Chain A
Amino acid sequence: MKPGPATAHANHDESLVVRLYGNDVDSEERSRALDLLAGCEECAALFADLGQIASATAALPVPERPRDFMLTPADAARLRASMPAHRPSRWFGLTRQLGGAFAALGLAGVLISGALTALAPASSLQVTNYDAAKVGSQAALNVGAAPAASAAPVADGSRGAAIDQPSSNTFVSPGIASAGPSGSGSEITKATVSTPLPPNSPGSVAYVQPVPTAAASHGAGTESASGGQSPSSGPFDPKPAVLIASAGLLLLGLLLLVGPRLRGRKIRG
Chain B
Amino acid sequence: MNERLAGERPGPDSIPAEKRRAEELGQGMDIALVEEALGGKLDAFNQLVLRHQDHLFALVYRLVPDRDQAADAVQEAFFSAYRNLASFRGGSVRSWLGKIAVNAAMDIQRSRRRRPSNPYPELEDESWQPPALPSEEPESRTLEVERLRALAGALEALPYEQRNCIVLFDVNGYDYSEIAEIMGVSVGTVKSRIHRGRLVLRTALAPMRELFRG
Contacts of A53 in B (CB 8 A): 151, 198, 201-202, 205, 212
Whether the pair A27, B213 counts as a contact (CB closer than 8 A) is: no
Q: A21-B8, A71-B78 in contact; A57/B171 too (CB < 8 A)?
A: yes
Cβ distance A30 to chain B, nearest Cβ, rounded Å: 7
A68 touches B53 (CB 8 A): yes
**Cα distance, A249 to B205, chains bound together (Å):** 61
Q: How many residue pairs between the two chains, A and B, have CB atoms under 8 Å in the bound complex?
A: 160
Which residues of chain A are within 8 angstroms of B2 by Cβ–Cβ distance? 27, 30
Given A60-B62, A60-B152, A62-B61, answer yes or no on A52-B184 (Cβ-Cβ < 8 Å): no
Q: How far is the CA of A61 from the CA of B148 in the complex (A)?
A: 8
B10–A23 touching, CB < 8 Å = yes
* Distance (whole angstroms) from the CB of A61 to the closest CB of chain B: 5
Q: Is A56 an interface residue (CB 8 A)?
A: yes
Is the pair B1, A83 in contact by a Cβ cutoff of 8 Å?
no
Given the known A-B contacts A56-B147, A71-B49, are A82 and B83 also in contact in the complex, defined by CB atoms under 8 Å? yes
Known: A58-B170, A79-B79. Contact between A23 and B212, CB under 8 A?
A: no
The residue on B at minimum CB distance from A73 is B42
The interface size of chain A toward B, counting residues with CB under 8 Å, comes to: 51
Q: Is the CB of B83 within 8 A of A269?
A: no
B93 on interface, CB distance cutoff 8 Å? no
Complex CA distance for A268 and B166, rounded to whole angstroms: 23
Minimum CB distance partner of B58 in chain A:
A62
B interface: dominant SS: helix
A19 contacts chain B at the CB level, 8 A cutoff: yes
CB-CB contacts below 8 Å: A63-88 with B: 63, 65-71, 73, 75-76, 79, 82-85
Which residues of B sit under 8 angstroms from A59, Cβ to Cβ? 130, 148
Closest to B62 in A: A60
**Which of chain A's residues have a CB closer than 8 A to the CB of B71?**
65-67, 69
- Provide the residues of chain B in CB contact with A140, threshold 8 Å: none
Residue A139 at the B interface, CB < 8 A? no
Contact with A along B183-213 (1 / 0, CB 8 A): 0100000010011001101100100010011
- A266 contacts which of B54, B57, B87 (Cβ < 8 Å)? B87
Q: Which residues of A contact B34 (CB under 8 A)?
A: none
Of the residues A22, A37, A73, A82, contact of B9 by C-beta under 8 Å: A22
Number of interface residues of B (CB under 8 A): 71
B87 contact set on A, CB distance < 8 A: 265-267
Contact B96 A267 (CB under 8 A): yes
Whether a CB of chain A sits under 8 angstroms from the CB of B39 is no
With a CB–CB cut-off of 8 A, which chain B residues contact A34? 1, 5
A63 with B191: CB separation less than 8 A: no
Q: Are B7 and A69 in contact, with the CB atoms below 8 A?
A: no
Q: Which residues of B contact A82 (CB under 8 A)?
A: 83
Contact status of A60 and B7, CB under 8 A, knowing A15-B195, A69-B53, A70-B49: no
Asked if B27 lies at the interface with its beta carbon under 8 angstroms from chain A, I say no
A31, A47, A60, A84, most chain B CB atoms within 10 A: A60
> With contacts A49-B202, A50-B202 known, what are 5 further pairs, Cβ within 8 A?
A24-B191, A27-B1, A71-B46, A85-B86, A269-B99
Q: List 11 A-B contacts (CB under 8 A).
A: A20-B5, A21-B9, A50-B198, A52-B212, A60-B171, A65-B54, A69-B74, A71-B42, A269-B80, A269-B103, A269-B184
